[in-house]
Chains A and B, each alone.
Chain A
């Protein structure tokens, strides 16, 4: 037996397929197809949680996504503990384990419930008013305590072991909502042959047909028709049907985000299935068929477990075969709750009484209820619910006052009417309009190519809904370019119809009362709180919302917004449209971070770029550092060396014999065309026209503002072909910068740019023995100093493969950079390494590279410059073509501030104590005894221990630095002031003789 409250004759689930589950450790049995909520109710469990602020016992209000109360924690294992799952949405699987939230020590005895007794303290705006003073206490005391007390559920503290996927999709017609309206629209669109996507948040399509026992379409029960129609759609090639899929956000140009819950309903999802799939759909037309959400009645203690929406009780009965009580009361202000009473009565549940606020309504459902012998009370209100952990009675009073009567009940089914779900329409930037007659906000002005149909459009009745939806589906397809379809419209044989209802607080919870009549269950906002907000000066509904937090919980006020608005309007004495509706924002229901992140985690979080030589470095035990997305060998520790020892050895090795360095990550751009040199003249500060083919030059690129943007060595391969190198990190932006000028400012130039960064692996061979290492492997290139002087380039072969061999140096030693096609990079490296072993060569990493270049005063753009450094500041005036009349940055460089005296200039620093290594970024002052805050005149940009110099070395940007040569400056640090001497930037081989040594 799957619960004492299961009615075998009712519902659509197969009784035989049972599923065991637990709630707060207690075992129960449900049926496959149940939600956790229906399974709990089948077992007579109504108490499922505690409220957020007052810790009041809470039950199950709804049967769908709007649920504000029944939030539970689903625990699969230690890493899969999902908090705030709506029990009304969670499908049951065998072995499901759920726990209640926000209670201690237990759900039925919760210490936090003292907040309920102290509730006069916790009125609207409580936090704003209470924790203002003393100011310092906010950070140290109030905020931590509030944070501790706040929140529902517990986040898992382990990495999420599930995976999530994503899919971009395009369609002609996207139908959101799979009730009668959505299905009819999808059928009409699909029959034309256009691409259709139909999505619904439920496991099964049908929407309100799940509970509308009176609906018949095409000669069948409404729900059965829905299943048949969706099966037909799913079988069509041009249709994609997505159950368990929530459209959470409607963005520009009909771009809609949907989350498909792929495996949360499965007992053992397996590794191949994602937990969720994010769909990013671009649709030519969107049909919104999102239905309507029933409102509760606002009366005292309307939050007691067992008090629920009438439509929900009907769903539990007609779909899940569960009676929500044995003796129920009904409280309504419209017709629809009568249908619930009738269905329950027919199923054998006692209906103690229907209390109807209306004076003398008439209609078939009222007649039918009366005929079934149900007591009906017109013009009366339920002024309070009795009971605590479960409702035990309802107290009835004539709506204009009078004698009270208390009726024992174990459930109250309520309906204040239905609110069209205009959330997605509103997210599409459409403007809602208030219909004064029906008291509903319905779609007004459209901003995108979409249309609303059925209940979300304020359309009443199944017949009208299907007519409207089918026509809209056909029109959407036509507008998307379809020819006429060849299907036929579903025929509605019988339907239910209801409308109207009431907004705001019911009698007994009016302005003269202080009862707890809840408007927003999840945030514990009562009618009184909203009135108080208005009394305290809130005028706009946006202010009322923020002051009371009405509608700001995870359910985003799906059941509460309209009531809150009506109460505020009434208190303000204004009509509802003048008070305005709060804005609906994505997501419609909570979305996991996992689905948003989707594939972008682990190795796919960001690309990890590796060079062709990476595997060799890995085998050598290199330690890698991240440089942008690249992994670069940082240093190569040998036999237990620490970083310091390894770098010292590598630095000395390069200057003593030679070193091999993987420079493949340098950006490389091939500039080709008859105007290549003209283009280079415009993009770099240097002159290029006269650079001979076969020669290289160090180039500086500026932005138009005159500041250094990038640098690199450029080789001229031919009159019309340059091989340009950029910094590793600068490669993409330099390419963009060059393309920008070429395409938009200098389009007359016949020149083209191609990124060849990854075409060539680059092996720097540097050191006195570099030529000896390379020469035996090279053919077709004269390696003599006369034929291949410093700063020259030749094309030829190395190890039998093509090479662009650069004679250049970033170490100050005789040096080469061997470019070979990337796939050959590793083999050529290995050949050079083998050759290098004969000459005592070392492999060196980026750290040694940094030290070696700093010993020579070579700058690194982005380390020694920061976007505010001119060539002159960096001591690179020599690289600016003095006779040039134009290049990018030429005018910016002339700006008054850039030529003013006292600019920060790049200089060398030597600490007085040679063993002390400065910290990069440390500030420099003239007088360490001046009062704080001291006047800072610069900062350290590069600083290293130089084994080759036998001392520490540093580069720094210092105001008027070049006029301070030999001066003593000070670097104040937490543990003392460091004395430094201003020097030139070259610390090693000042004459530069070793370049040819």
Chain B
């Protein structure tokens, strides 16, 4: 069972309290009804599924109930960092895994 740092609870909590919610940083268009088929396909169906660093959403569903973002390495299954929903995709990652955002 993994330990996941919740950026809202500001501590590591057991994985049982969390639920994965798919890839992060896929924004829903403000004019979704006007989107082309291609754009909607990219938004709704296409996911990156990388080997290595993945940006994904998690929800601390049985904790503070917040959705947040995480950077995880799919090879080692280690969390590199977590950050709050709405914060930009980090441009630089910390060297050691399982850290929160720098204060």
* Residue ranges of A at the interface with B (Cβ–Cβ < 8 Å): 168, 251-253, 255, 280, 282, 704-705, 736, 739-740, 743-745, 747, 885-886, 890-892, 894-896
Contact = CB atoms under 8 A, between A and B. Distances in A.
Nearest to A890: B33
A885 B33 contact: yes
A739 B44 contact: no
Contacts of A743: 66-67, 85
With a 10 A CB-CB cut-off, give which of B2, B14, B32, B67 has the most chain A CB atoms.
B32
A705 B43 CA distance: 11
A747 B87 CA distance: 12
Interface string B29-43: 001110101001000
Contacts of B3: 253, 255, 282
A802 to B, nearest CB: 27
Interface string B59-70: 101000111000
A252 B1 contact: yes
A213 B31 CA distance: 81
Nearest to A429: B76
A744 B67 contact: yes
Contacts of A739: 59, 65, 67
B1 A251 contact: yes
B1 A280 contact: yes
A744 B85 contact: yes
Contacts of A885: 33
A251 B57 CA distance: 23
A881 to B, nearest CB: 12
Contact of A886 (B2, B32, B37): B32
Contacts of A896: 37
A896 B85 CA distance: 33
A745 B57 CA distance: 13
Contacts of B78: 252
B74 to A, nearest CB: 13
Given A740-B67, A747-B86, A895-B37, A253 B2 contact: yes
Given A704-B44, A740-B21, A744-B85, A886 B1 contact: no
B2 A252 contact: yes
Contacts of A891: 32-33, 35, 40
B2 to A, nearest CB: 5
A749 to B, nearest CB: 13
Interface string B79-98: 00000011000000000001
Given A747-B85, A886-B31, 15 more contacts: A252-B77, A252-B78, A253-B98, A282-B3, A704-B28, A743-B66, A744-B67, A744-B86, A885-B33, A886-B33, A891-B32, A891-B33, A891-B40, A892-B44, A894-B33
Interface in B1-57: 1-3, 14, 19, 21, 28, 31-33, 35, 37, 40, 44, 57
A176 to B, nearest CB: 18
Nearest to B61: A736
Nearest to A704: B44
A896 B41 CA distance: 12
Given A744-B67, A744-B85, A890 B1 contact: no
B103 to A, nearest CB: 20
A752 to B, nearest CB: 11
Given A253-B2, A744-B85, A890 B67 contact: no
A736 B59 contact: yes
30 contacts: A168-B14, A252-B2, A252-B77, A252-B78, A253-B3, A255-B1, A255-B3, A280-B1, A282-B14, A736-B61, A739-B59, A740-B21, A743-B66, A743-B67, A743-B85, A744-B57, A744-B67, A744-B85, A744-B86, A745-B28, A885-B33, A886-B31, A886-B32, A890-B32, A890-B33, A891-B35, A891-B40, A892-B40, A894-B33, A895-B37
Contacts of B61: 736
Contacts of A740: 21, 59, 67
Contacts of B77: 252
Contacts of B1: 251-252, 255, 280
B95 to A, nearest CB: 16
Contacts of A892: 40, 44
A262 to B, nearest CB: 23
Contacts of A894: 33
A705 B61 CA distance: 24
A891 B43 CA distance: 11
Contacts of A704: 28, 44
Nearest to B27: A745
A896 B36 CA distance: 11
A890 B28 CA distance: 12
Contacts of A253: 2-3, 98
Given A743-B85, A744-B67, A705 B32 contact: no
Nearest to A703: B44
Contacts of A886: 31-33
Q: Lowest 10 CB-CB distances: which A-B pairs, in order?
A: A891-B32, A743-B67, A253-B3, A890-B33, A745-B28, A744-B67, A744-B85, A255-B1, A891-B40, A252-B2
Contacts of A252: 1-2, 77-78
A891 B28 CA distance: 11
Nearest to B30: A886
With a 10 A CB-CB cut-off, give which of A252, A255, A280, A739 has the most chain B CB atoms.
A252
A88 to B, nearest CB: 32
Nearest to A251: B1
Contacts of B33: 885-886, 890-891, 894
B39 to A, nearest CB: 9
Contacts of B28: 704, 745
A882 to B, nearest CB: 12
